[in-house]
Amino acid sequence: GLRDLFLRKLLPLEEHYRFHEFHSPALEEADFENKPMVLLVGQYSTGKTTFIRYLLEQDFPGMRIGPEPTTDSFIAVMYGETEGNVPGNALVVDPKKPFRKLSRFGNAFLNRFMCSQLPNQVLKSISIIDSPGILSGEKQRISRGYDFCQVLQWFAERVDRIILLFDAHKLDISDEFSEAIKSFRGQDDKIRVVLNKADQVDTQQLMRVYGALMWSLGKVIDTPEVLRVYIGSFWAHPLRNTENRRLFEAEAQDLFKDIQSLPQKAAVRKLNDLIKRARLAKVHAYIISYLKKEMPSVFGKENKKKELINKLPEIYIQLQREYHISAGDFPEVKKMQELLENCDFTKFHSLKPKLIEAVDNMLANKIAALMNLIRQEESNMPTEMVHGGAFDGTMAGPFGHGYGEGAKEGADEEEWVVAKDKPAYDEIFYTLSPINGKISGISAKKEMVTSKLPNSVLGKIWKLADCDGDGMLDDEEFALAKHLIKIKLDGYELPGTLPSHLVPPSHRKPFQTAE
């Protein structure tokens, strides 16, 4: 599998050119085996911990909630048979958990890191990482004692989803938050944004806040796509402003679907991250070996080193031309220059084409084969969904999404739901001069186009309404057509086939009762 590929093809290249000191530590078994992870990031009091509680529908050990900055630790919320906390120092020596490489951030960080385990259904499929609330001031940067952005970046490279939480009630993106978001560079495809507490403002304010949020984010995250923002109130309390209730429900539904799809996409995501890593490792090898080649053998080493570090941007351009690599694959110049300051260039290795060929071969042949394998596995797998907690409240029953609305209206009633409006529809029906109790398609069309719906939609409505397919409509079929037009005009979707409760009574087969 993936791990095997990594060990055989990529690791030798990484070790030879000291990739791990520059970019990211070697991958461990747990990195390939672990469940999909979701990282939550936001300023304090945007409702991160409450959001986790909302998904799990139970408290987790070590959880603290309040208006002041409460969560000042990274908490990995994971599945465990018994409830309890594991402190950071113990976590990073556990080979079964994907956190061993976090030990390099030192004690200041490990004292602020823990794992909260509990037997919750949701956590059987995903793990959630709660991060410290980000303050708006400057003072916090000094007091953390570890490099907050580097830790975030470490997580970002390994998680499947990064959810940025914002508070619609008091939107502001502090400097530290901007820095934090910038440390997710290159992981844009994993980012989703949640505009929380949206019920605290009215519709007009919400529109403005949404606009302001998109504008602010556009300055921090430079991606060509528009970020997906989910608007809602993610906790179990009554809504303060109910005017956007349907919007919030639809948004929560979409967010749940997004999170639920993670287990299924996890294998592809790991593959994707490995490809990103392999490309960076190749570029890194080219840079290091170039620097080695340029070093003098005897005199003037220090001066040459300084000159090469300053010339790094030009070296990048040269390597891009020489090896046909896009600029996007290169590590950030500034960061690379800082890291090179402390290196002895003479100890670097020169270029070994064999190592590069192994990685090229992996990218060209092995990965494609693996991709097909994963696709097959996916199609054979029962769709792995996240269950439990808030994910179950939206499945079925009267509070499921869209229950009793649109085409589903009247599904659990004895009487045909169209009957209550039929007298009004009958009046129109008889003005269309029916022959033998039916109107022709031409007469029906004249009436139906007054709805201003496009022909493609009216054609679908005609198909659903003409139950016996005789190209004419009787009074019940006509009433049904008008009912379907009303459903569409109210902004609901039309059903693909006519549900049994909408079939007109005289067209129902004997013994078939409405469901």
DSSP 335-389: HHHHHHHT--GGGS----HHHHHHHHHIIIIIHHHHHHHHHHHHHHS------SG
pLDDT tens digits for range 286-344? 999 999 988 887 788 888 889 999 999 999 999 999 998 888 888 888 889 988 988 88
**Three-class secondary structure of residue 140 per DSSP:** helix
Residue 134 phi/psi, 5-degree rounding, is -95, 130
CB 106 within 8 A of CB 83: no
Model confidence band, residue 213 (pLDDT cutoffs 50, 70, 90): very high
Considering the chain, what is the average pLDDT of its residues? Answer: 86
- Looking at residue 293, its amino acid is K
| Tokens representing residue 324 in the block | 């046909």
Q: Could you tell me which residues come within 8 angstroms of residue 246 by beta carbon, excluding any fewer than 6 positions away?
A: none
Better-scored residue on pLDDT, 19 or 72: 19
**Three-class secondary structure of residue 79 per DSSP:** strand
Torsion of CA 507, 508, 509, 510, to 10 degrees: -110
Q: Could you tell me which residues come within 8 angstroms of residue 506 by beta carbon, excluding any fewer than 6 positions away?
A: 474, 476
- Between β-strands 113-118 and 191-196, what pairing exists: parallel, antiparallel or unpaired? unpaired
pLDDT tens digits for range 504-513? 999 987 755 5
Distance CA 21, CA 39 (A): 24
Least confident of 66-75, 142-151, 367-376, 459-468: 66-75
Closest CA to 171 of 128, 142, 200: 200
Which range, 234-248, 357-371, 448-462, has the best average confidence (pLDDT)?
Answer: 448-462
**Three-class secondary structure of residue 464 per DSSP:** helix
| Tokens representing residue 323 in the block | 């090896």
Least confident of 26-30, 193-197, 442-446: 26-30
Rg of the chain, C-alpha, whole Å: 30
Q: Is the dihedral of CA 492, 496, 499, 504 positive or negative?
A: positive
Distance CA 462, CA 464 (A): 5
| Tokens representing residue 90 in the block | 């113990």
**Residue 175 belongs to what H/E stretch?**
helix 175-182
Q: What percent of the chain has pLDDT over 70?
A: 93
pLDDT tens digits for range 437-468? 999 999 999 999 999 988 888 999 999 999 99
**Three-class secondary structure of residue 199 per DSSP:** helix
pLDDT tens digits for range 262-285? 887 888 888 888 888 898 899 999
Distance CA 32, CA 274 (A): 10
Least confident of 106-120, 154-168, 356-370, 481-495: 356-370
Assign residue 171 a region (left: φ > 0; alpha: ψ between -120 and 50; beta: otherwise).
Answer: beta
Return the DSSP state at 396.
S
Using a cut of 0.75, tell me whether the model's pTM lies above it: no
**Three-class secondary structure of residue 409 per DSSP:** coil
Closest CA to 356 of 19, 1, 4: 19
Q: How many CB atoms lie within 10 A of CB 292?
A: 16
Return the DSSP state at 393.
T
Q: What structural domains and CATH numbers belong to the chain?
A: 37-261 (3.40.50.300), 269-380 (1.10.268.20), 414-507 (1.10.238.10)
Q: Could you tell me which residues come within 8 angstroms of residue 348 by beta carbon, excluding any fewer than 6 positions away?
A: 17, 18, 288, 289, 291, 292, 295
Distance CA 245, CA 236 (A): 14
Q: Could you tell me which residues come within 8 angstroms of residue 302 by beta carbon, excluding any fewer than 6 positions away?
A: none
pLDDT value of position 395: 60
